[in-house]
């Protein structure tokens, strides 16, 4: 049975590290065990999951920790995985829509991590820097978003790649089909992104603990009722591209969580919208963690998204 423990920070806890605060309230747990829970996404402050042990507390903040030490485990599973590149430090994989990146609350199997652990087998390893449930995972893609991910094999590679993301030296390009007609051929959306107070799984422009966020975009092609864009997030907030386009009245096709219509019109015929988001991580560029050489990878649109474009083009 899992157990969730909750604590409220008092005035005396202000500016105390999260792991230290929890260790004070959980004498039956070691600090290293608590830190693993934090890294694995099992700790929330307010409504937001926190992954950094050194995050400082504020007075009156409510902390919840999932206290089941062995409830979840990332284990190898024989699942298909599309690996574009691999060496001793990292892998670059092409994630399909519908696959969750790592094990977590409500997801115990079938993830990209499960597939990678099987691929690595007994002869290799994935970095443990991100926690026991997220081995190798430096960054993530939403479940219904497809495309490129870089995965770390060693802890040193993980730290170096994480630093590149933090310093905004990793360049990612997405392709998205949005509802409506964007007025400008290119532009920037600069709106902070935080947790939606009314919907635990959704983010919003503004919101709880909002952090600055910027997305650049350019129009690739226009169709009746839709615009195909290339988007480059300058920051890496949760659901950033989805939130940004929804916030300006152009939600991504298929993204009903962010107010996209449940039905679309192609060639004058109305039909049910896509079963996934029309959002694809099409390119990623970074420096190799050993030696610093520039690396760039590209991924074509998946067949189901390409088919939608072909239908739109045929409809004129």
Domain-ending residue, one of 123, 148, 166: 166
Same domain? For 183 and 267 the reply is: yes
Q: What is the CATH number of the domain that holds 49?
A: 3.10.290.10
In a domain, 73, yes or no: no
Give the residue from 173, 154, 146, 186 showing the smallest Cα distance to 284. 173
Put the strands of the sheet holding 43-45 in their side by side order: 4-8, 62-66, 43-45, 48-49
In a domain, 54, yes or no: yes
Distance (Å) of CA 201 to CA 48, 77, 196, 242: 9, 27, 8, 13
In a domain, 74, yes or no: no
pTM score, two decimals? 0.79
User: Are 41 and 65 contacting, i.e. CB atoms less than 8 angstroms apart?
Assistant: no
* DSSP annotation of 153: S
* Catalytic-labelled residue, pool 13, 19, 89, 142: 142
In a domain, 77, yes or no: no
Largest Cα separation within the chain, whole Å, is 67
Which residues, in sequence order, are bridge partners of residue 222?
227
Whether 142 sits among the annotated catalytic residues: the reply is: yes
Same domain? For 220 and 252 the reply is: yes
Query: Which range marks the domain in which residue 51 is found?
Result: 4-66
Q: Work out how many domains the chain is built from and give that number.
A: 3
Rg value, the chain, Cα: 21
Same domain? For 160 and 178 the reply is: no
In a domain, 76, yes or no: no
pLDDT > 70: what percent of the chain? 96
**pLDDT in single tens digits along all 316 residues of the chain:** 557 889 999 988 899 999 999 988 876 677 777 888 898 889 999 989 999 999 999 999 999 998 765 556 788 999 999 999 999 999 999 999 999 999 876 678 899 999 999 999 866 789 988 877 889 999 999 999 999 999 999 999 999 999 999 999 999 999 999 999 999 999 999 999 998 887 877 899 998 889 999 999 999 999 999 999 999 999 999 999 999 999 999 999 999 999 999 999 998 899 999 999 999 999 999 999 998 899 999 999 999 999 999 999 999 7
């Amino acid at each position: 049975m899992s157990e969730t423990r909750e604590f409220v920070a008092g005035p005396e806890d202000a500016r105390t590290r999260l792991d230290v605060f929890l260790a004070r309230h959980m004498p039956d747990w070691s600090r290293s065990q608590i830190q693993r829970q934090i890294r694995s996404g099992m700790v929330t402050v307010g409504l937001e999951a926190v992954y950094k042990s050194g995050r400082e507390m504020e007075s009156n903040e409510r902390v919840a920790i999932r206290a089941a030490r062995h409830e979840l485990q990332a284990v190898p599973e024989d699942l298909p995985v599309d690996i574009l590149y691999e060496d001793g430090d990292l892998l670059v994989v092409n994630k399909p829509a519908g696959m969750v990146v790592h094990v977590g609350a409500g997801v115990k199997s079938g993830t990209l991590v499960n597939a990678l652990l099987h691929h690595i087998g007994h002869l290799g390893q994935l970095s443990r820097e991100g926690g026991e449930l997220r081995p190798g995972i430096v960054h993530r893609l939403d479940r219904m978003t497809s495309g490129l991910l870089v995965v770390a094999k060693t802890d040193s590679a993980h730290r170096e790649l994480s630093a590149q993301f933090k310093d905004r030296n990793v360049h990612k390009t997405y392709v998205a089909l949005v509802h409506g007609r964007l007025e400008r051929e290119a532009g920037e959306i600069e709106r902070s992104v935080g947790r939606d107070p009314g919907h635990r799984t959704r983010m919003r422009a503004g919101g709880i603990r909002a952090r600055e966020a910027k997305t650049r975009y350019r129009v690739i092609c226009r169709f009746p009722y839709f615009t195909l864009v290339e988007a480059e997030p300058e920051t890496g907030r949760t659901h950033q591209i989805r939130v940004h386009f929804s916030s300006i009245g152009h939600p991504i096709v298929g993204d009903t969580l962010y107010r996209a219509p449940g039905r679309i019109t192609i060639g004058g015929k109305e039909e049910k919208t896509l079963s996934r988001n029309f959002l694809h991580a099409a390119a990623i560029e970074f420096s190799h963690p050993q030696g610093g050489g520039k690396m760039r990878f590209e991924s074509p649109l998946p067949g189901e998204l390409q088919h939608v474009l072909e239908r739109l083009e045929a409809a004129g």
